[in-house]
A and B are shown apart, each in its own frame.
Chain A
Amino acid sequence: MATEGATVHAIDLTVNGVAHSTTVPARRLLVHFIRETLGLRGTHIGCDTGNCGACSVICDGQLIKSCMMLAVQADGCEIETIESLGEGPDGLDPIQEAFKEHHGLQCGYCTPGIVLNAKTLLAENPHPSEAEIRRALKGNICRCTGYVNIIRSIEAAAGAQGA
């Protein structure tokens, strides 16, 4: 961009299993890189202070807020966004199925971040208590559901994973 002024930095990263080699200006946030540069629109922006969690993605196996990380800091990282779940354009993975069955979403804007939160939570803690689920969800704001059905969906997904 003519107006950037700043230099650009080479980064290599994997997003949803696909390797990318490109350059980014230092100021580009990871969430904008994901949405605008890679065209992956499932990761959302809901605030400007890192409070809402709508931008949550998995980075090297951990849940992070992609609006609180520079794209250049993702160099060498493995990123998974919501688009990595479920087979093909129509497949839902078990967590997504549980959300559908238990009405764990309404407007859907917080949903990608919440589903990824559930995925990383259940990977670390396959049978979380309600209190543990609430704790885990603290960084993801939902304005539609009052959280009740989100928790039910995650409990169901945990149950479906087997005893």
Chain B
Amino acid sequence: MLLAATEYVRPASLEEALTALRANTGARVLAGGQTLINVLKHRAASVDLLVDVSRLAELRFIDVAADGSAVIGAATTYAELERSAELRGAQPLIGEVAAGTVDRQVRVRGTIGGNACFADPSSNYPPLLVALEASMEIAGESGTRSVPASEFFLGLYRTAVGPGELLRAITLPALDGAGVGYRSLQIAADSWALARAVAWVRTAAGSPRTIEAVRVVLGCVAGAPVRAGATEELLAGGPASEQAVSAAAALAGEGLQPPSDVHASSSYRREMTAVMAKRALLDAIGGAS
């Protein structure tokens, strides 16, 4: 509960923040602190310098373009995402996921960037960002580099953000009529997730409707989000029917070794992954136009 001694700086600009990060290998970015402060309370990591970016306007913004694409600053809070009507119109899941995050106190301070960079298997944004094919804008000494979400999450607590860098923003392509489904199985309401699946579906008109393109991304099963390749293959080009979805979703857990822990066994997690995949797909198909 009591933190170890540490240092703190609140840079006035992104440039200053990057300088501070470069100068000290034991430095960590502090945004909302809703994860990092717990880590520090339990002395689970040793941090020499906290670089507080929570107030930087360069990292805290929501820009929605006319075409429905969006750029979100990494230090934008869950509450801000939940409140944004513009964002709700163009990228409904971003605000929806924010609204279901933990509790209202956490939502005031916690940020989408903090969530993504923590990269815990049960973090709620990583699988969504991979499914949406977001681009992660990483700022460093030589400017900003763009990394696709699918290459950003490297494993348990590891992302593509390197030393001296920080996540500046997340770019979301326009949905353009695609439907997105997001389903979690939690130990209790708005609590730890045991299984999570995100589906992105573009359908083609017809009767029956067919699945033109599909992405199914699984959270909670491994260090980084996992694409349910077998599920996607079976669905692509086929009918957007409940039967087809059930059959394909049943494959979602195959070959995966989710962890066993105090909350659930590996096999239950695997089986629930398939159920969440099915439900997310049906939601996505329902939402696609």
Question: A residues touching B (Cβ–Cβ < 8 Å)?
Answer: 4-7, 9, 25-27, 29, 45, 48-50, 53, 56, 59, 62-65, 67-70, 72-73, 75, 117, 135-136, 138-140
Q: Which of B4, B30, B106 contacts A139 (CB 8 A)?
A: B106
State whether B105 touches A49 (Cβ < 8 A): no
Which of B12-20, B33-41, B149-157, B248-256 faces chain A? B33-41
Q: Known contacts A29-B3, A139-B103: does B33 contact A69 (CB below 8 Å)? A: yes
B205 within 8 A of A: no
Q: Known contacts A26-B8, A70-B37, A72-B8: does B105 contact A48 (CB below 8 Å)? A: no
B5 within 8 A of A: yes
Cβ–Cβ < 8 Å partners of A64 in chain B: 105, 108-109
* 17 contacts across the A-B interface (CB closer than 8 A): A5-B5, A26-B8, A27-B4, A48-B41, A48-B42, A49-B42, A56-B105, A63-B104, A64-B108, A67-B37, A70-B30, A73-B30, A73-B52, A138-B103, A138-B104, A139-B104, A139-B105
- For chain B, give the interface size range: 20 to 34
State whether B33 touches A73 (Cβ < 8 A): yes
State whether B104 touches A27 (Cβ < 8 A): no
Cβ–Cβ < 8 Å partners of A140 in chain B: 103
B176 within 8 A of A: no
CB A73 to nearest CB in B, in angstroms, measures 6
Q: Complex: how many Å from CA A80 to CA B208?
A: 58
Cβ–Cβ < 8 Å partners of B30 in chain A: 70, 73
State whether B104 touches A136 (Cβ < 8 A): yes
Q: Complex: how many Å from CA A119 to CA B212?
A: 50
Residue picked from A5, A27, A64, most chain B C-beta under 10 Å: A27
State whether B37 touches A69 (Cβ < 8 A): yes
Closest to A8 in B: B8
Q: Complex: how many Å from CA A48 to CA B44?
A: 13
Cβ–Cβ < 8 Å partners of A67 in chain B: 1, 37
Question: B residues touching A (Cβ–Cβ < 8 Å)?
Answer: 1-8, 10, 30, 33-34, 37-38, 40-42, 50, 52, 54, 79, 102-106, 108-109, 189-190
Closest to A72 in B: B8
State whether B103 touches A6 (Cβ < 8 A): no
Closest to A136 in B: B104
Q: Known contacts A48-B1, A68-B106: does B7 contact A7 (CB below 8 Å)? A: yes
Q: Complex: how many Å from CA A140 to CA B102?
A: 11
State whether A27 touches B105 (Cβ < 8 A): no
CB B275 to nearest CB in A, in angstroms, measures 25
Closest to B4 in A: A27
State whether A53 touches B103 (Cβ < 8 A): yes
Q: Known contacts A53-B103, A62-B79, A138-B104: does B7 contact A68 (CB below 8 Å)? A: no
Q: Complex: how many Å from CA A29 to CA B3?
A: 8
Cβ–Cβ < 8 Å partners of A75 in chain B: 10
State whether A68 touches B109 (Cβ < 8 A): yes
Q: Known contacts A65-B105, A73-B54: does B189 contact A138 (CB below 8 Å)? A: yes
